[in-house]
Structure 1
Amino acid sequence: MHTKRSRFRGGTGSMRTIASAMIVAAMLCCAGTNVVWAQATAQISGTVRDASGAVLPGVQVTATQTDIGTSRGTLTNETGFYALPNLPLGPYKVEASLVGFRTFAQTGIVLQVGSNPVVDVRMEVGQVAQVVEVQADVATIETRSVGVGTVIETQRVVDLPLNARQVTDLITLSGLAVRTGSSPGYNMDTGVNISVAGGTSYSVQYNLDGASHLDMYVGTNMPLPFPDALQEFKVVTSAQDASSGGHSAAAVNAVTKSGGNQLHGDVFWFLRNAAANARDAFAPKNDQLKRNQFGGTVGGALKKDKMFFFVGYQGTTTRQTPLDTTAFVPSIAMRSGDFSAYINPANGCPSAAAVRNIADGSGKLIFALSPAAVEISKRLPQSTDPCGRVSTGNPLHENRLQVPARLDYQLSERQTLFARYMVTRIQTKVPYDIRPNDVLTSTGYGADDTAQSLAFGHTYVFSPKLVNSVHISGNRVGANKLPAKYFGPADVGIKNLFGYIPQFTAMTGAGFSLGLPANFAISTTAMTNFGVNDDVTVVRGSHQFAVGASMNRGLLFTRSNAWAPGVMIFTGAIPNVGAIPGLGTPIVGTGAAITDFLTGRITSLHQANPNPENLTQNYFAAYLQDTWKATRKLTLNYGLRWSPFLPMQFTDGNVYTFSLDNFYKGVQSKVIPSAPP
């Protein structure tokens, strides 16, 4: 409940033919709708005119990033148009100069992720030494982008209240986004399922610093930087240009903070404690929550105007011991077959009426007890309640850390480099290891998860009208879900049941559960993804051409154990089953799940082998597009994109995609020739 934050800061003709052909082609194809690369930058463009409104060619236009002192320049063409693509994010000053005119300077321009502001210039006759300065604190107009997007800038990221300071919660502020769930238990819990503009949660592309930041296993985001390390992000929906592709609903383009000439940073500490919380109405006592989130950031210059660094750290420790779940276990009396208190109507025990039908006048069961069930009952929490009621809950001991680091280098006036690395780790203790006297905590599981992402970027300005940008990225997620180790089927006398998870027994339905639903999460996953792309921007006359290509390779290994231990289910159902030839009449249910358990009557048993998968998938795309300022009031954006679907494959050669066409043609399997076509 208590929050403490402090900050510190210190000093230191043929063109028309090409365009027409591309317009026709664009009408015949559909481009994707999310930006995969190059959206960690922005651009400034506009037209320079004199006081009479006539265009001015040959004007020197320079954009200077005021916080680090780097600049980029170009000359206006014969139509007075200029464009400065692939600019880093941040505050800018735009200057325009031409002999015979006063120098024009506009400050207060802030470039946000993926923005394309138009900064038109009107120059007045005079001396170059004379400066006409304009302060632009209002939002600039974008007329060169066809997409619809919402930018969540750094101030809102830091100031808005966030549960556990997860910035993904802010994605829903875009207006078209709705959270539909979280990542499945077998993966890192930092991913979220978000539907944008009615699309599926797997139709959203996540990018960080211009590189893909997507977990290919579950189709959601990898961990994003904590609020103090995130510069901003943009949610882009609606129509996009040809440089987009891969996912149809939206793109979330995030950018980490970077250093500057001034040393800057902050430290923070957030605390949540059960002493300030109300007790859960259904829990016998407070959950003893103790949650601390702490860390800081620092950024600055290693070499003024040349090399800048930024690094951050966030640690989170959580301790919680809830008792918010009610279970029903066999009481000491029930373990000997005495259900006299259980069937007493005054106690209101569940299924008491059904148990009366299988008890004698003294309340003793008329069926013999299962030795294995009695042995399991001895290991359950003891209860003196007539119905066997107990309170339980899975305690939480969790440690998290995240470290993002970024380096930016202005190699020359023509070249810029950046490198960014981020690691996120989650370690959760197995609940049963925390509370070993309560085997009901076996329903929970532990975790040892690590996500790493690495990105390199290189931008080279060949000329004021030709810019090339290259990105190389690598992502890796290792998720290990750890089971409780308490007792296996053989330890309690259950025969002929082999569970693939040592010291693990799974059952449910008898008023309590063991190992369920933890069994669905217990797994090992390793996902690795490598990507490279190249984007070239060319300005010719009133046209801004872009051409690029990207390649991506994903590797996935996973081993899940959903049904591997063998799950015993007790329902008390009495099926209408007759005699089975050669086997006689099978044992049927007693009418109550708890007595089914004690007498060894399993309603159903679900078991399957562990499910290993070893997959690879490749992705390739290329595009060509043009942004054409046809008139002062009309800008056209059109292009072509080629992005073939390459299916996932098992490493042993099997294709992990069903071909309906081959099925209709009766194509026989070459791997299993005896299989039906």
Structure 2
Amino acid sequence: MRSDLGLPLGDLQGFAMGKIAVASRRSLLRIFVLALCALPMHGQTANTGAIAGTVSDPSGALVAGAALVVKSQATHEERDLTTDAGGSFSVPFLAPGHYDLTVRATRFEPFTFNDVQVRITEVSRLKIQLTISGAKEHIEVSAKPSLLQTENATLGRVIDRNTVQELPLVNRNFTQILGLTAGTNTDIVDATQLGAGSQEIRANGARSGDNNFMLNGVDANSYSSNMSEVTPFGGAGIAIPAPDTIQEFKVQNSLYDAQYGRGGGANVNVETRSGTADFHGSVYYFGRNEALDANNFFANATGVPRGEFRRSQPGGTLGGPMPLSKKRTFFFVSYQATRDVNAASLSSSVRSLSLPPIPQVRTPASLGAVFGGQTGVFGGVAVAPNGSNINPVALNLLNAQNPDGAFLIPSPQTSGSGVNYTAALPGHYNEDQFNANFDVNLRKADNLSVKFFFSNSNQDVPFFGATVPGFPALRSFGNRNLSISETHPFSSQTINQFRFGFSRNAGQGVAGGTLTDQDVGINSPSGTQEGLPQIEVLGAFELGNSSNDRGKTASNNFYLSDVMFLSRGKHDFRVGAEIFRNQFNQLTDNTAGVLITLSFPDFLLGLPAGPAGAVGNGTSLSSIYASGVVAGIPHVGQRASAGHFFILDDWKATRTLTLNLGVRVEVNGQQSEVGGRQSNFFPKFYVAPPVGGFTSPATSGFVLPGNFSGNAPEGFPRENSTLLNHPIQSHPEPRIGFAWQPFSSKGLVLRGGYGIYANRISFGGNGVPLTFNPPFTLSAVFTGGANAPRACSIPFQICRQPPRSQIS
């Protein structure tokens, strides 16, 4: 099941920040005052690293003006620079990989450092000691990767390509090893889970929604929930490139510098592979089946055979120089397919129930013979021995059949108490993903990179809301991620990196059940219920699709960033800004309703409260203990903009002490709905009722946004378009860190720091809930005595909201 949601990108008006295009003068003043006070990072970014170090003579004196050439082993790209007056050098914005560094200086022999490894967000520090010329030899040294990070206070770990590819990932999903970084934890991986199997990460006690994900240096978050995994109502998670596509990724779990923000949890930076000067490729296949799997305990007990479990993941990669490009343009492409048939997942494919002794013959007489004389939980009228008072709705449901001819409500598979029924139905998950990367050397050290990731997936979940077969959840998801970056050197000590990013995370959920309320005789208020309500018989079974099975979401996210690197003696500065424009469209169709009965006899009777007789069940409570319905405007479009600014510096204070000093300001614009279809409660508009009275109107205190263009119902004043009680706020976020080697030995590094980190709230956590307030959404739930008049045939209260034509 694939579907293009067709949800609009929405107007891009306000992309350049709208109300927050320019920070207030006061905020800017704070930035520069703090920057001048601090004046102290190396030029590494979310998807690049750096090489830094010093050049000295045999006596240890630093050599100024030494010429250095840094050459990529992958693309043969070169970058030239010289050491400064203090003999120091810094090479920023290097793609992850291995490099050779050659040093030449007057009166000294040439020196080459081979195989220097560069990792994203990290600095590889070298100490180069030249020899006096005359020996007529070229000295070459192979660099060994340092196990200690001596350049900054950031805590985290780089996971390289070999690790990602060689670890036995159950779903070949890199999020399943995010927890390898100290200070983080993830959920235990469920090897039988249907789907991509994405895991949430929690860093140092922060919530899983407090993280920031970046793919190829640009924003890759899912703004529906800030989560990495998909959500039931159609919310798509983040993009998950195949392990063979990933170059490396870094999890920064605390004390990251001022360039990184948006969340107070972990920063996850993923970089996909690039082409090289030589052609390289791979073809692979990963497979799994149920041949050696054990059967479920309850399936064995009820005579159900082992469920099918087969996963196939073929794919391939290809990279190299573009033809006729004189090895100035490089490409890398990859493809992976996933085909998963899974009847072993306890969360989506297997259900074990304790069913009442429902006979195979479902006539009133046969049912009465089994359940005659039994009453509901609260007593009252009993089921007649001949079944004459069994509710027609219950009888219709008991005789309804699935397309395979099996009863919708099954009979027990074994006799006796306890679990007597098990179903193991195969769910299906299919995904196709494609990655295309292009890197162009425009001029020496001037690079253009374009990287695009595409994935489509669909799955059917046999069990989600219902616990009996016949109500699958059908879902489809799509991810698009585009990253365009240009690195431009103004000089060897002043380099700029510009980025544009776009991501789209879209999904939809469709209820797979075909039975409707009219099919079984349930009368629902017109315009509110669609499909069969979710019906729960407490302790026995659940019917109907969950309201969360129906919905569509699409998040379109635009991202601009610019970072300037300046090397000035012992100070390596970075100054930059990020601009975000986010659009979130949601179509919610959770209007089927929910019914709850407390026992199977209550379900069979389905009578309202009242005296025993033709109508009542002989108690003060209905056989339908609770009923609920939601109705409202299904389609909303949330919009928000943000601007983040930072300045920071790595100050090599001494040979053994590096200070990381900076400040970040995040100006997060408030969320609004494009048509003003949301409301909020403002205490200043609330009118308290008299003692013993009721609030009138019931919506007293609720307000509509200023951009609402419909006909406002009576009693709803207008306020600002965001419906929040405070304006846009921004606060400086200082970041201070140090890395100190107290002894001459390289075996000990002390790191520490302090920082303020802010979370950017998702649309699902702020804007979307406002659309569920009156008058746009009506949520009516009645339980106990409030639901006393309800019966199986008319289970819902007649609750009306203003027609959509009046408020949309």
- Asked if 2 retains the 8 angstrom alpha-carbon contact of 1:242 and 1:641, the reply is yes
SS in 1 for 2:180: helix
Show structure 1 runs of 5+ residues with no match: 1-17, 346-350, 433-437
User: How far apart in 1 are the matches of 2:683 and 2:652?
Assistant: 45
SS in 2 for 1:411: strand
Which of 248, 258, 279 pairs up with 2:295? 279
User: How far apart in 1 are the matches of 2:99 and 2:329?
Assistant: 18
SS in 1 for 2:468: helix
Partner of 1:256: 272
The 3 A distance-change label for structure 1 pair 476 and 668 is: closer
Which of 628, 633, 636 pairs up with 2:651? 628
User: How far apart in 1 are the matches of 2:570 and 2:637?
Assistant: 50
1:414 aligns with 2:414: no
User: How far apart in 1 are the matches of 2:32 and 2:524?
Assistant: 74
Partner of 2:312: 292
**Deviation of the 1:133 alpha carbon:** 1.2
**Deviation of the 1:22 alpha carbon:** 4.0
1:72-116 deviation digits (Å, cap 9, x = unpaired): 121111111111110111001111111110111111211111111
User: How far apart in 2 are the matches of 1:446 and 1:566?
Assistant: 19
More divergent stretch after superposition (126-135 vs 373-382) = 126-135
SS in 1 for 2:124: coil
Question: What does 1:359-370 correspond to in 2, within 5 Å?
Answer: 363-364=385-386, 368-370=389-391
1:267 aligns with 2:283: yes
- Asked if 2 retains the 8 angstrom alpha-carbon contact of 1:343 and 1:356, the reply is no
Show structure 2 runs of 5+ residues with no match: 1-29, 229-237, 603-607, 688-700, 707-711, 720-808
The 3 A distance-change label for structure 1 pair 580 and 159 is: closer
Partner of 2:510: 482
More divergent stretch after superposition (196-205 vs 351-360) = 351-360
The 3 A distance-change label for structure 1 pair 340 and 565 is: closer
**Deviation of the 1:601 alpha carbon:** 3.0
**Deviation of the 1:279 alpha carbon:** 1.6
User: How far apart in 1 are the matches of 2:37 and 2:684?
Assistant: 28
SS in 2 for 1:169: helix
Partner of 2:758: none
- Asked if 1 retains the 8 angstrom alpha-carbon contact of 2:676 and 2:705, the reply is no
1:326 aligns with 2:352: yes
- Asked if 2 retains the 8 angstrom alpha-carbon contact of 1:192 and 1:220, the reply is no
1:121 aligns with 2:162: no
Partner of 2:252: 236
1:556-584 deviation digits (Å, cap 9, x = unpaired): 0112234x10111111399xxxx9999x9
Partner of 1:526: 554
Question: What does 1:62-461 correspond to in 2, within 5 Å?
Answer: 62-126=69-133, 130-139=137-146, 142-180=149-187, 191-221=198-228, 222-283=238-299, 284-302=304-322, 303-321=325-343, 324-327=350-353, 328=355, 330-333=358-361, 335-336=363-364, 338=366, 342=370, 363-364=385-386, 368-380=389-401, 381-382=406-407, 385=412, 390-429=421-460, 431=462, 440-461=468-489
Relative to the length of structure 1, the TM-score reads: 0.83
SS in 1 for 2:126: coil
Partner of 1:569: 596
1:604 aligns with 2:626: yes
- Asked if 2 retains the 8 angstrom alpha-carbon contact of 1:521 and 1:560, the reply is no
**Deviation of the 1:140 alpha carbon:** 6.7
Partner of 1:616: 639
Aligned residue type for 1:55 = L
User: How far apart in 1 are the matches of 2:441 and 2:542?
Assistant: 60
1:554 aligns with 2:582: yes
- Asked if 1 retains the 8 angstrom alpha-carbon contact of 2:43 and 2:92, the reply is no
**Deviation of the 1:642 alpha carbon:** 1.6
- Asked if 1 retains the 8 angstrom alpha-carbon contact of 2:580 and 2:642, the reply is yes
Partner of 1:7: none
User: How far apart in 2 are the matches of 1:662 and 1:51?
Assistant: 79
Aligned residue type for 2:329 = M
The 3 A distance-change label for structure 1 pair 149 and 441 is: same
User: How far apart in 1 are the matches of 2:663 and 2:367?
Assistant: 76
For the aligned residues, what is the CA RMSD? Answer: 4.0
Aligned residue type for 1:307 = T
- Asked if 2 retains the 8 angstrom alpha-carbon contact of 1:426 and 1:448, the reply is yes
Aligned residue type for 2:245 = A
- Asked if 2 retains the 8 angstrom alpha-carbon contact of 1:312 and 1:403, the reply is yes
Partner of 2:495: 467
SS in 1 for 2:475: strand
1:618-648 deviation digits (Å, cap 9, x = unpaired): 1101111122222222222212222123111
More divergent stretch after superposition (119-128 vs 549-558) = 119-128
User: How far apart in 1 are the matches of 2:220 and 2:443?
Assistant: 29
- Higher relative CO (Cα under 8 Å, sequence separation at least 6) belongs to 2
The 3 A distance-change label for structure 1 pair 212 and 250 is: same
The 3 A distance-change label for structure 1 pair 315 and 668 is: closer
User: How far apart in 1 are the matches of 2:43 and 2:536?
Assistant: 45
**Deviation of the 1:326 alpha carbon:** 3.4
The 3 A distance-change label for structure 1 pair 337 and 561 is: farther
Partner of 2:715: 674
User: How far apart in 2 are the matches of 1:325 and 1:264?
Assistant: 47
More divergent stretch after superposition (303-312 vs 63-72) = 303-312
Aligned residue type for 1:567 = V
Which of 544, 569, 572 pairs up with 1:515? 544
1:581-629 deviation digits (Å, cap 9, x = unpaired): 99x99845999xxxx9xxx932211110154331011110111112222
**Deviation of the 1:524 alpha carbon:** 0.6
- Asked if 2 retains the 8 angstrom alpha-carbon contact of 1:118 and 1:142, the reply is no
User: How far apart in 2 are the matches of 1:304 and 1:359?
Assistant: 88
The 3 A distance-change label for structure 1 pair 413 and 445 is: same
SS in 1 for 2:171: helix
SS in 2 for 1:152: strand
User: How far apart in 2 are the matches of 1:104 and 1:553?
Assistant: 48
User: How far apart in 2 are the matches of 1:483 and 1:371?
Assistant: 25
1:101-160 deviation digits (Å, cap 9, x = unpaired): 011111121111111111121111105963111111242754332211111111110111
- Asked if 1 retains the 8 angstrom alpha-carbon contact of 2:309 and 2:341, the reply is yes
The 3 A distance-change label for structure 1 pair 101 and 268 is: same
More divergent stretch after superposition (321-330 vs 545-554) = 321-330
- Asked if 1 retains the 8 angstrom alpha-carbon contact of 2:451 and 2:483, the reply is yes
The 3 A distance-change label for structure 1 pair 414 and 320 is: closer
